[in-house]
Structure 1
Amino acid sequence: MSRATGGQASGRSVGTPGRPGVLAARGTAPGPWAASDPYSAALRAGRGPLFLRRVDGWLLPLEVERWCARADAVDLEVLDRCEGAVLDVGCGPGRLVAELAARGRTVLGIDVSEAAVARTLRLGGQSLRRSVFEPLPGEGRWGTVLLMDGNVGIGGDPRALLMRVAALLAPGGLLIAETAPVDVDERTHVQVVDVTDAHGADSPFPWARIGTPALLRHAGTAGLRTAAQWTSGGRRFVALRGDRCDHSDRGDHSDRTASNSAEPPNSAAVISSQRARKPSADSAATDR
């Protein structure tokens, strides 16, 4: 993976790999992912400890060290399955975006954390500070959307998230999601905390924990069908393919594979300062 020095998210243009883009600012009220929050501090340090704390006190450890390292062997297996232009939703510190960019792939990461976007840019990847539920570049033209590291929990409503992703995909496009290693289908409210902030400085936000069976149950309502399921390195994954057809071609898109040379999504974009995200894949939790 090649590394490139870059500026902060507010000062560097963003575009498709090898081509500059346009970056503008749009401000909203600060929230739990402000520059001084525990998550941002952990990304700057490259290590935890960091936890998702449920309102009842239950803790889920977050894998900050893994996120801040290079893409590992399990990650690489996932990236080998990607088709066409790739959108990494909740890209965090950018290890997957950077690896795909180093391969010459068209890839964009989005995250609502300023620290995550800045770190992705420093790695040489392209990233926008944006919620998945906001307008995004290339809607309806992404070959692959990634929901890794527990990001199937974004927003606390898996069906709404899957429907949103289905709208982002190109006809027959691929969603690759990492699910919890247990059979769970939970909606809850959480805070991101470190060992010095056991109660959290901000209001709890909605989150979900979803295992593979639950994700497959929700997928059908979003027009997504199962393409593959696998386990690697103790992590679980599902690939779902969109059934939405291009009106210009009424043929069967069920086996469509987008080419890496496909037209890249328009990357002229607006950076949002909305915050709301970035926990990890489910791992063993402790009660406290």
Structure 2
Amino acid sequence: MTAPGMRSAPPFPQPGHPAPSPKASAQALNVLAALLEARTGQQIVRHRSTRVDTVLLPLMRERRLETLDQLVLAILDGSDPSLAGRVVDALVNCETSFFRDPQIFDLIADTVAAIERTGRRARIWSVGCSTGQEPLSIAMALAERNDALGTAMPDIVATDVSEAALAKARAGSFTQFEVQRGLPIRHLVRWFEGRADNEWVVRPELLRHIAFRHMNLVSDPPPPGGFDLILCRNVMLYFAPEAKRRVFDILASAMRPGAGLILGAGETVIGQTALFRLSPGGRGLYEKIPEEEAPRTA
């Protein structure tokens, strides 16, 4: 099956012949952009389009496809229903690291402590958790604190749209390069086991504190139960304005009274939603506006 305006590409080059650059036609990029937005809400903006061929190249080599046009034709053919999902997994930005923006974890600890003083167990939601470094960092920071105080760990729920990223997060397996990105040596020694080939695996007693779940943020309902703190950092950078408003609605619906929302350093609620405002509780923290204070619509 050939999409309108797209030519079928020549067969994959034989061994010994270099493969040409997998440049895509405008039609192919449009199909990939539409697929990504439909499944995740994310857009392929101009500066991201330059990396499309790079992130999809391993999948193309596996399928012996020479160009992105061929890859799109394979998706449209429908003979392999899993192909579209694997393409989306590759296109989703999964950039993450341990203890990213370290001051945020002091803010999380302070927020959890305030909730515990009310006699309640805190619930935390890590949105767009990718391969798990953020929720694992939260668990490590709070486990150390809770051991000292003798308090119970909060419930931590972590969600992502990428099944591949979630599989890695659930396995808790990381390379030497990944653990060197932000992970203090004391946490590495305490919470990870070294394996062959420079692999580090999270100890089960830490991993069990996190419930990893698949979720499309723009279309799926939030995890059940209210949350006291939601981290949604650098998740909505590539969402269209309407998708951002829909996500803020979903996040607000999942928050308990007095709950906090943490966004990425380059993100804000200003001009995006009327449901949140800056919180006096800390830099980068937002709070849901109580219904009685929310602006009335005509």
TM-score norm. by structure 1 comes to 0.45
| Structure number with bigger Rg | 2
Instruction: Give the TM-score of the pair, scaled to structure 2.
Output: 0.43
Q: Looking at both structures, which has the greater relative contact order when contacts are Cα pairs under 8 Å and sequence separation is at least 6?
A: 1
